[in-house]
Amino acid sequence: MNFKLLLTIAKSLLLARWRQTLVAAIGVTFSITMFITLLSFMSGLNDLLDGLILNRTAHIKLFNEIKATKDQPIDLSDKFKSSYHFIHSIKPSNARQEIYNNGAILKALHSDKRVKGIAPKIIAQVFYNVGAIDITGVINGIDVEAENKLFFFNDYVTAGNYIDLLNVPNSIILGKGAAEKMLANIGDVIQITTPKGDRIQLKVVGFFQSGLVELDKVQSYCSLTTTQKLLGKSSNYITDIQVKLNDMTTAPVLAKEYANTFGIDAEDIQTANSQFETGSSIRTLISYAVGITLLIVAGFGIYNILNMMIYEKMDSIAILKATGFSGKDVNTIFVVIALSIGFFGGLVGLLFGFGLSSLIDQIPFNTASLPTIKTYPINYNPKFYTIGITFSLITTYFAGLFPARKASKIDPVVIIRGK
Amino acid sequence: MSQIVLQAKGINKSFHDPITIQILKDINFTVNKGEFVSVIGKSGCGKSTLLYILSTMDTDFQGELLIDGESTKNKKEGQLALVRNEKIGFVFQFHYLLNEFSVLRNVMLPGLKLGKYSEEEVEHRAMQKLKILGIENEALKMANQLSGGQKQRVAIARALINDPLIIMGDEPTGNLDKKNGKIVFDIFQELAQEFKQTLLIVTHDNEFANSTDRIIEMEDGRIVKL
């Protein structure tokens, strides 16, 4: 009952000076709007940049590195156990790039609950034949469906249909740059030379554009079977296993585990791309700092307006106290005033922020390096909205607290006798 | 013997700024239920200061104040606010209405604060009080649309809303012209006679004082005549 009464008093005081209230609320609205827009935009951009790497990079890559074995024969000999070994110019033995026993590894990974999906891959060095000239290139033999599911392969196929890799025998999706060099169009047949010197003809079914021009001049994609065929290998030949995990942060630990279990090399995404995480966390930090600064500035605005209001309402406060309202009641009234400015200003700010960010979402943004992006990226994370309204309430609460305490300490006798 | 509503026991008060001046010296008196008491004295003799101490708004004094037999000494600010709300009605020299509210709402506020009756009942009672004071037609106007005399009557209605033990007035007619002053005085008279309302009014209007039950005369911080 008492609180309800205080609420109605606060409401009347607010509405009696609605212009002033409006100005204060607009301050909050503006800062929340900018906070939401800024964070949505920045975080959208972050996600985009992260996605450039994350979408196409396996969380863990399993492969066979060509290197000298760690356990050299001399290490195994008992005779020289207590000696220090000086051996120079060790060369790797005739090791194959192929992952041994990959059927069992794939099966083990499939049944691992922590793994979201796996995509086997073959990397083959080839030459693209353009008339008399050979251009070096790399053909990625991929499991087309798995690659599309895990690494959004289709997003980067700018012409043609990715599934034709499976449907058309001996087909290839050329990197955009490589295609331009070869003057190849969809439907054309190109010729490549394998490392072993075999010449093979492949049909172009699409173009691929990764966003990295250098990469597109070299890379092309074939299905696993086509690649195995052109390398003259059996159908269980693969050189890489790309693993995507449910939780990316566990990658370094799991990479070690897999390396031990399967006896092959494993590289996690954090090690391979340590720079990108630093960049995105600093960008996030900056956008939060700017957003919170905006809110604090709005808080000072509310503080000023409430202070002014209290000077104007001295008489009213005195009379409320004289007729039996305690200092605590007066305090509550002014805190309620501040909070309602924060709440309604913030709520409208959330709406405007959503509106403004959807507007930005419509602005065309075309860049050659990002074929899938047509407009500015926006992240509509509800987290930003929660933070926005929480912060607007917190800042307005503190902005209201000090004037409210001042109001609660007003001595009615001084005001009434001062007249 | 009639019931004592208000008792002052050895009240002393000094102002310390800029130099210490004792403004009230050993004030002792009582007000009985149903009495219409006026306090008179020259300007600066301390009568208003005394009134604010008696109203519990000023707590910075020595001595003891009993309202309805209860000492105010060890009560906290919030408890004193409750005492003011329930037992004391106050009428100031200036009307001091809240301009943000309608007349009716102004009268209702202390009643709502007390929370003894439901909102509908408080509204009904507020209308009754306004009727006693003859301004029920103004109930829905905003407070700042009234004339000075009307405002003062609204202030009296507000003082009455919780049926207080005592109504205190600080020169309630001081800011009004003769005609309105007379109306307000007649209202006090009516309250005292018909409703047996206890009243303690500070005034420097001797004519006003002479028609009350009892006059307390003050001079230089002392009571010279009870």
As a whole number, mean pLDDT of residues B22-37 equals 83
Of A13, A326, A419, the CB nearest to B81: A326
Which chain B residues contact residue A417 at CB under 8 A? 48, 52
Bridge partners of residue A117, in order along the sequence: A244
Q: Give residue ranges of A with CB < 8 Å to any B CB.
A: 1-2, 5, 9, 12-13, 15-16, 315-316, 318-329, 411-413, 416-417, 419
Q: Do A417 and B48 touch (CB under 8 A)?
A: yes
Separation between Cα atoms, residue B37 and residue B31, nearest integer Å: 8
**What is the pLDDT confidence band of residue B1, given thresholds at 50, 70 and 90?**
very low
Where do we find the tokens 């930005």?
A: A360
3-state secondary structure of A187: coil
A232 vs B205, which has greater pLDDT?
Answer: A232
Identity of the residue in B100, B115, B158 whose CB atom sits nearest the CB atom of A2: B115
Instruction: Using the predicted structure, report yes or no on whether residue B187 has a pLDDT greater than 60.
Output: yes
Q: Give the relative orientation of helices A382-408 and A327-362 as an angle to the nearest 10 degrees.
A: 150
Is A319 in contact with B113 (Cβ distance < 8 A)? no
Torsion from C-alpha of A214, A216, A222, A223, nearest 10 degrees:
90
Q: pLDDT > 90: what percent of chain B?
A: 0
Per-residue pLDDT reduced to its tens digit, B98-115:
888 888 888 888 888 887
CB contact under 8 A, B81 and A319: no
3-state secondary structure B169-180: EECCCCCCCHHH
State the pLDDT at residue A106. Answer: 87
Q: Å from B52 to nearest chain A CA?
A: 7
Give the contacts of A345 (CB within 8 A, at least 6 positions apart). A24, A25, A26, A27, A28, A29, A32, A298, A392, A396
* Domains of chain B and CATH, by start: 33-59+75-225 (3.40.50.300)
C-alpha–C-alpha distance, residues B114 and A326, integer Å: 12
| B81/A321 CB distance under 8 A | yes
> Which residue type, as a one-letter code, is found at position B90?
F
Is A12 in Cβ contact with B81 (below 8 Å)?
no
The pairing of beta strand A60-63 with beta strand B222-225: unpaired
Return d(Cα B81, Cα A268) in angstroms, integer. Answer: 69
Q: How far is Cα of residue A342 from the mean position of the Cα atoms in its chain?
A: 31
Most distant CA atoms of chain A, gap in Å: 108
Of A9, A16, A322, the CB nearest to B57: A322
Query: Which residue intervals of A119-212 are DSSP H helices?
Result: 144-151, 164-167, 176-182
Helix, strand, or coil (residue B96): coil
User: What whole-number distance in Å separates Cα of residue A231 and Cα of residue A237?
Assistant: 10
- Find, among B158, B115, B99, B52, the residue nearest to A329 by Cα: B115
Distance CA(A99)–CA(A384), nearest Å, equals 45
Position A55 scores a pLDDT of 74
Q: What residue segments make up the domains of chain A, in order of their start?
A: 2-54+276-418, 60-73+95-272
A327 → chain B, closest CA residue: B78
Helix (H, G, I), strand (E, B), or coil: what is residue A368?
coil
pLDDT mean by block of 10 residues, chain A; 419 residues: 80 83 85 88 82 78 80 81 82 75 86 88 90 89 88 85 89 91 90 88 90 85 90 88 86 88 86 74 83 80 78 82 84 88 90 93 78 81 89 85 83 72
- CA distances A118 to A123, A247, A351, A399, Å, are 16, 14, 41, 54
| Chain centre to alpha carbon of residue A315 | 56
Question: Which residue from B minimizes the CA distance to A13?
Answer: B100
The pLDDT of residue A351 is 94
Q: How many CB pairs under 8 A join A and B?
A: 77
User: What local confidence, expressed as pLDDT, does residue B163 receive?
Assistant: 83
Q: Which of A159, A150, A153 is nearest to A140 (CA)?
A: A153
Structure tokens at A311: 């000077």
- Which residues is A243 bridged to in the sheet? A60, A118
In the three-class reduction of DSSP (H, G, I as helix; E, B as strand; rest coil), residue B46 is classed as coil
Measured between beta carbons, the chain B residues lying within 8 angstroms of A12 are 98, 100-101, 105
Q: Which of A5, A328, A412 sits opposite B113 (nearest CB)?
A: A5
- Is residue B175 pLDDT above 80, yes or no? no
Residue B155 has pLDDT above 60, yes or no: yes
Which of B72, B85, B100, B154 should one mutate to test binding to chain A, selecting the residue with the greatest count of A CBs within 10 A?
B100
Whether residue B110 and residue A319 make contact (CB cut-off 8 A), yes or no, is no
Q: Which of A16, A326, A416 is opposite residue B78, by nearest beta carbon? A: A326
How many Å lie between the alpha carbon of A333 and the closest alpha carbon of chain B? 13
Inter-chain touch A327–B77, beta carbons under 8 Å: yes
Dihedral sign, CA of A159, A164, A166, A169?
Answer: negative
> What is the nearest CA distance from B1 to chain A, expressed in angstroms?
31
Q: Which residue of B has its CA nearest to A419?
A: B94
Average pLDDT value for chain B: 82
More confident residue, B137 or A276: B137
Give me the pLDDT at residue A369, please.
Answer: 63
Q: Which residues of B touch A419 (CB under 8 A)?
A: 93-94
Minimal Cα–Cα distance from B44 to chain A, Å? 12
Nearest residue of A to residue B87, measured between CA atoms: A324
* Residues in B touching A11 (Cβ below 8 Å): none
Rounded Cα distance between B57 and B77, Å, is: 9
Task: Tell me whether residues A324 and B81 touch, CB distance under 8 A.
Answer: yes
Given an 8 Å threshold on Cβ–Cβ distance, is A316 in contact with B100? yes
| B15, B57, B94: best to mutate for the A interface, most A CBs within 10 A | B57
